Amino acid sequence: MPAHLPLLSALTAVYLAWGGTYLAMAVAVRTIPPLLVSGLRFVTAGFLLLGFLALRRATWPTAAQWRGSAISGTFLLLGGNGVVCCLAHLVPSGVVALVIACTTLFVVLTGWLLGGPGPTRRVILGIFIGLAGVGLLVWHPGSQAPWPWWAPLGLLGACASWGLGTVLSRRLPQPEDPWMATAAQMVTGGGITLTLATALGSWSGFDPHTMTAASWWAWIYLVVIGAIVGFGAYVWLLRNASPALATSYGYVNPLVALALGAILNGEDLTGQTLTAAAIIVAGVVVLTVSPPRSPG
pLDDT tens digit string along 88-126?
A: 989 888 888 888 877 877 888 888 888 877 777 887 888
What does the alpha-carbon distance between residue 49 and residue 275 come to, in Å, rounded to a whole number?
40
Q: pLDDT band at 134, cuts 50/70/90?
A: confident
Burial of 48 (0-12, 13-18, 19+ CB in 10 A): middle
Q: Which of 68-72, 175-179, 220-224, 240-244 has the least mean pLDDT?
A: 240-244
**DSSP string computed for 196-216:** HHHHTTGGGG--GGG--HHHH
Q: pLDDT band at 157, cuts 50/70/90?
A: very high
What does the alpha-carbon distance between residue 229 and residue 224 come to, in Å, rounded to a whole number?
6
Mean of the per-residue pLDDT values for the chain?
86
CA distances from 243 to 123, 238, 247 (A): 13, 6, 6
Instruction: Kindly report, residue by residue over 247-262, the tens digit of the pLDDT.
Output: 677 677 888 888 888 8
What does the alpha-carbon distance between residue 275 and residue 130 come to, in Å, rounded to a whole number?
12
